[in-house]
């Protein structure tokens, strides 16, 4: 399965956000069931970013999000998250 989190980041916060998301990706990568992850900035709207991660399953993803180190690393990133569904299971 994969998870997509879209984030609205003000330009003044972009440099710090990029460093914070790198720390979050490292924390997620250390969790069981993590396959890979990446972040990208929208080509048409530079204030919009997407964090995409791939997991062995929904359970692995949810367990990873409940880990203390992920919560700590994720707090400064998820501050910018848009409130929308983001977990997808491929056909």
pLDDT by residue for the chain (91 residues), tens only, comes to: 999 999 999 999 999 999 999 999 999 999 999 999 999 999 999 999 999 999 999 999 999 999 999 999 999 999 999 999 999 999 8
**What topology does CATH give the domain 2-81?**
Alpha-Beta Plaits (3.30.70)
Give the separation between CA 77 and CA 25, rounded to whole angstroms. Answer: 10
**Nearest to 25, CA basis, from 3, 48, 56:** 3
User: Do 2 and 53 touch, CB atoms closer than 8 A?
Assistant: yes
pLDDT at 84: 97
pLDDT at 15: 93
Sequence-ordered alpha helix ranges (H) in 30-67: 58-66
């Amino acid at each position: 399965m994969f998870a997509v989190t879209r984030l609205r980041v003000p330009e003044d916060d972009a440099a710090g956000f990029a460093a914070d998301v790198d720390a979050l990706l490292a924390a997620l990568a250390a969790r069981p069931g993590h396959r890979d992850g990446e972040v990208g900035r929208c080509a048409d709207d530079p204030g919009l970013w997407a964090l995409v991660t791939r997991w062995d399953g929904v359970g692995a993803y949810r367990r990873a999000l409940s880990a203390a180190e992920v919560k700590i690393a994720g707090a400064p990133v998820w501050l910018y998250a848009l409130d929308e569904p983001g977990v997808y299971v491929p056909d």
